[in-house]
Amino acid sequence: MSPAPALLFISLLCVAHASINCPRLSSTLSYTQSNAPRDISSILRVVVEKVNRELEGVIDVDVEWTGSELHRKVGKYDVTAKVTRRIKQAGGAMEESTDCFSVPFVINDDDECNLPVGHAMRHKCHESAFCVNTVGGYQCECRKPPASSSSEAWALSLLSSSCPLSATSDCCSTDDCKADFVCPVDPCGANGGSDCGAKSGAKCVSDVFEDGSGATYKCQCPSGLYGNGHVCNPGDSIPNPKVGFDGLPTEATRTANFCGCTKPSVDQCAGFPTCEAKNTACTIAADGKGPPTCECKPGYVDTPEHGCVDETPPTLKLRCDQNNDGVMKLKQGDNYEECAVDIMDDNAEDLARTLKIKYSEPLPSGCLRKMGSFTVNYSVATPWTDPPFQEVTRTVEVGDLDECKISSKQAQFYCPEAMPRCDVASGALCKNTIGSYTCECPKCTTGDGFLPISGLNPDDPLKPFNYNGGTGCVDSCKPELKLHGPNPRVFRVPKNNGLQGLTSKGKEVSSGFIKSDSGERNYDSEVKALIRGSGGLELCATKNNAATVTGKHCATASDTTPNGIIDLSDKIIVGDPVRSPKQPNMWRVPYNVVDSIGNRADTVWRDVVVEEMSFEEYEVTLRKDFDEEKRRAVEEAVAKATRKEKGDCEEKVRRLEEGERVKGGGRNSNKCAKCPPPPKCPDFDGKDDNGLRKELRACQSDLGDVKRSLTDRTNESGGGGRGGGGGDKTLASTLEEIFPLFLILMLGSSTLGLLVLVLQRAKSVLMGTSGVVRGKGDDERASNLAKSVTYHSPRHGTGSVSVNGSTAGTVQPQTPQSARSGVFSPGSVGSAKSMQSPASYNLSPITPSRMSKR
């Protein structure tokens, strides 16, 4: 996906004190002479870095310069860069545009005279001279000679100094020349010690300075001889003075400072016109014949277009390449800084150069976002070589960044675009991918998991994995709704009597009722009023929770969200009943709930059945329900007592065994046998008083058997002899605790049996004997009997209760009248108060004269 490598040309033209009509970059490049660039490679990095940082879409660089204009010369310059960029137009098309940009460039003067010893730019003046700073350089000057001196200082140093003057300002421009400039001293005086060689005929010539700081001298050779006149010492070079065709000593002779005084030889190039072409010098033919010519200096080759150039091409060395492998390793989110190259070129100040920087793909103006690699190619033109350029390539490897581990502070500091944009508040989880990242939504949510990323192009290749506009994570799971309590809910009522006693005032739940075509009662409005009046609580009330029933006893709802499970039970709506076509007097009641997002749970239904029966059947049903309830209560009490008795027995035996083991030193390891089960309580239904007494005696006999069995087993576990007495005592204590409990249970059972007999006799009084049958007035009597029933329904708690599903809004929920399993009706005759039944009724007496026989 990387674009084709494009060429970006940056032309760098250094023009001192010139105004170039190009936009200037933000800052000026400022150097001192000691730090000033020798050639463009020294400022290349700064220029290219500025271009890449301040401009986008750079695709090619071309650099040209003239080195001699930059080489440590004090002044102000403008470095002009010609940049070609790929710019996105208003319509979206990419077009190339070439513009120039100017970078101010200043070289400030260094005071070479005051730089520390050892500094590369410190002056090279001889100790006999003193340094004078100038703009962009320095001069070496001799102190003025005294007015009485017969000779001038430069006359005395003519043959021993590089410059036959009293200062270097008019004759020396290089450091080497200034280093060889020596001011005269006066070793020839009374306190002097000239080492002029007497054998060579040299004469000591001196002059004293008027400030008394020292003297200079020279050993003057006789006319026609050249040298410094000093005595030759071991190790000195063999004097080889030369003169040109004009008879003057050559430059080499003046600077060589040969010892002694020697007759010079003739140098054919001395006095020859200076060669104008660069890197050329006067050359004498190998055979010494013919006039001298201007040829390339040693190490240079002659080219038709460029003249004499260094036969060694320039060398390019990558900067920021610690491993010398040409690889720069970065990570996504890092900034690429152009390090450029060092150009080692002996011709840098002689020939114009062209430096090209080519990127394999355009660089971003900020941090690197794309994982992969790209190359940066640097090349310098060398037209006289084959190929006509020298190049080096840098490979930039951009590794994967784990965006999920970036803190917001880190991202804001160096690359805000790298900060992951996951919808964390909704539970989205950031996961790193190779080269990018993605956001995953938790269970029960939908969406791409991202927050919207502003300014992101849908076709951007750097778009995060699975990003689809930043829809976040939205709850998508339906709430879970569960019903509790009986389903179906059955209400048993006397035929055509209606659902009475269901309101707090004991009135019917509706002002009237509608009969069907067959004459049967229609319970639609009554069932609806029942549900609305109690907020649906009556549908799930049972004997155990009639006084404390709440909405959660009927139905519960929960919603799984990214922030946990939310209880929606108080949001459940109980709808109006819908008559079922499956059977008569059956309705279906819907339960619904919706979460905060709008997800609706599957509707669950509770069936409601109204079961009609005659008043006699109704009464028999009540009695059976009451008997069943009492039977369960007795069974629970007996089971509880049995468990307690068994536990107490085993605990006593365990203590007994523990005591025997202690007495016998642990020899007795017998375990207590399991206690026998208690005798089953008899069924007292239908028995008279004599039968009850027989059952009680039989139960006492069984209890005696249990006592004897326990005594025998305890004696066996207790051993014999001396330890047996303790076992009998413990067993007696155990039986004393168990027997009263059994006696109480038996007496209670007897009392319940007598109660049942009373109820049976009450029935015979109310309903007549088995021979009584319906006569002509039976229907009227049944109607009067039904009307004589009084229903009571206490309120369910106090205060205002919010009832879901009721169209009445906030009502006073009524106490459900379902103290009996499956029967919604008054309590049993004569026993409702003792059993804490939530309803009771009274029957008006019916005289026997109203009964008839068939």
Rounded mean pLDDT of 104-112?
84
Asked, for residue 840, whether it belongs to a domain, the answer is: no
698-712 pLDDT tens trace: 555 655 555 555 455
pLDDT of residue 702: 54
pLDDT of residue 711: 54
Q: Do both 264 and 141 map to the same domain?
A: yes
Question: What does the angle CA 821 – CA 822 – CA 823 come to, to the nearest 5 degrees?
Answer: 95
pLDDT, mean of residues 345-369 = 79
Does this model's pTM top 0.85? My answer is no
State whether 11 and 146 are in the same domain.
no
Q: Average model confidence (pLDDT) for the chain? A: 71
- pLDDT exceeds cutoff 50 at 841: no
Q: Residue 305: what pLDDT?
A: 79
Q: How many independent structural domains does the chain possess?
A: 6
More confident residue, 328 or 840: 328
- Residue 79: which residues within 8 A CB-CB, separation 6 or more? 12, 13, 14, 29, 43, 47, 102, 103, 104, 105
Choosing from 336, 371, 399, the residue where a domain stops is 399
Residue 298, both tokens: 């040693």
What tokens does 50 get?
Answer: 């500025």
**Looking at the structure, do residues 330 and 411 belong to the same domain, yes or no?**
no
Q: Are residues 424 and 490 in the same domain?
A: no
User: How many Å apart are CA 87 and CA 408, to the nearest integer?
Assistant: 31
Are 655 and 730 in contact by the 8 Å Cβ rule? The answer is yes
Residues 595, 623: one domain?
Answer: no
Q: Is 328 helix (H, G, I), strand (E, B) or coil?
A: strand
What number of CA atoms fall less than 13 Å from residue 272's CA on the CB side? 17
How many Å apart are CA 68 and CA 63, to the nearest integer?
Answer: 15
Query: 257-271, 425-439, 719-733, 802-816: lowest mean pLDDT where?
Result: 802-816
On whether residue 843 sits in a domain, the answer given is: no
- Domain-embedded: residue 101: yes
Assigned domain for 344 exists: yes
Whether residues 629 and 669 share a domain: the answer is yes
Domain containing 547 equals: 480-613+779-793+802-811
Lowest mean pLDDT among 39-43, 288-292, 365-369: 39-43
Tokens representing 512 are 């009237």
195 or 785, greater pLDDT: 195
**714 and 628 belong to one structural domain:** yes
- Residue 242 inside a domain? The answer is yes
* E-state strands within 53-93: 58-65, 75-88
* Residues 66 and 87 placed together within one structural domain of the fold: yes
Which of the two residues, 428 and 416, has the higher pLDDT score? 428
- 622 and 594 co-located in one domain: no
Q: Does residue 847 lie in a domain region?
A: no
624 shares a domain with 551:
no
Q: CA 440 from chain center: how many Å?
A: 12
What residues contact residue 686 under an 8 Å CB cut-off, 6+ apart? 760
Question: How far apart are alpha carbons 331 and 432 in whole angstroms?
Answer: 14
- Report, in angstroms and rounded to the nearest whole number, the Rg of the chain calculated over CA atoms: 61
H helix or E strand, kind and range, residue 178? helix 175-180
Which of 421, 446, 475 represents a domain boundary (last residue)? Answer: 475
Question: How far are the Cα atoms of 589, 682, 754 from residue 689, in angstroms, in the given order?
Answer: 50, 14, 8
| Residue 524 neighbours by CB distance under 10 Å | 16
- Segments in 196-283 forming alpha helices (H): 251-256
Instruction: Look up tokens 């200043």; give the residue.
Output: 106
CB 734 within 8 A of CB 710: yes
Q: For residue 122, give every residue at least 6 positions away whose Cβ sits within 8 Å of its Cβ, in sequence order, or none.
A: 112, 115, 116
The angle at the Cα of 299, spanning 298 to 304, to the nearest 5 degrees, equals 95
Q: pLDDT tens across 55-103, in order?
A: 778 888 776 665 545 566 788 877 777 888 888 787 778 888 888 877 7
CA distances from 211 to 149, 155, 224, 334, 577 (A): 13, 19, 35, 66, 130
Local confidence band at 394 (pLDDT 50, 70, 90 cut-offs): very high
Task: Provide the CB-side half-sphere exposure for 847 (13 A, CA).
Answer: 2
What pLDDT is stored for residue 7 in this prediction?
A: 35
User: Quick one: DSSP state of residue 404?
Assistant: G
**Residues 393 and 456 reside in one and the same domain:** no
The pLDDT of residue 410: 67
SS3 of 82, please?
strand
The CA distance from 195 to 186, in Å, is 12
Determine, yes or no, domain membership for 844.
no
Let me know whether 5 and 98 are in one domain: yes
The answer as to whether 393 is a domain residue is yes
